[in-house]
Amino acid sequence: MAPVLCRLLERVGHGAFGVVWRARQRAVDREVAVKIARSAVANDPTFIRRFEVDAQRIARIEHPHVVPLYDFWRDPDGAYLVMRFMQGGSMRDLLERSELPTGAVRLRMALQITEALAAAHELGVIHGDITSSNVLLDEHANAYLTDFGITGSATVVEPSLTADAPARSGATWAITWRPWGPGTGGWTSGGSP
């Protein structure tokens, strides 16, 4: 069904969930990313029960640094997510090329992701799988959080972010939720070049 609503242009990634394509969303003529779940995932009874509820919950997160979910559907051939296509790739891509951003840019990115996480938490959504692969970049090196647990990873209570950079880079970047008291808490972040 994906080719009817979206014209698939180029395979740009893959993972446990399935395959990610750069595509053209026909109805509004915009470039998008289409994630197509593997049929084994899409037809799993647990996945089927959670898919629509999780997708609706994630689509409610309105924040400038959360990759927006434009559309979703499931059919016998798979499950589909249509999202904003990020021109800059992922933080993981950047780190694998050893193209570490400057300290000021890293700080800006950390703040952007921290604010995105806070917006999600206000809606009761806990990411649970924050890695450099789930931090996407635009063409201006702004950071955007994606992959909010459609496959069930959004259940972790205390998430943390660690850039899984290659050991040769020596870079570390961490954002950690620290509870301050009953019902309250805050983000702490830090890193080294």
- The residues assigned a catalytic role are 129
Run of H or E residues at 46? helix 45-59
CB-side exposure of 10: number of CA atoms within 13 Å? 6
Taking CB atoms within 8 Å and a gap of at least 24, the contacts of 120-125 are: 120/61, 120/63, 120/66, 120/145, 120/148, 123/57, 123/60, 123/61, 124/57, 125/57, 125/58, 125/61, 125/149, 125/154
Q: Are 153 and 130 in contact (CB under 8 A)?
A: no
- For the record, the structure tokens of 56 come out as 């609706």
Report d(CA 87, CA 138) in Å as an integer.
5
Give CA angle at 38 (165, 10), nearest 5°. 65
Report d(CA 121, CA 142) in Å as an integer.
21
CB-side exposure of 38: number of CA atoms within 13 Å? 9
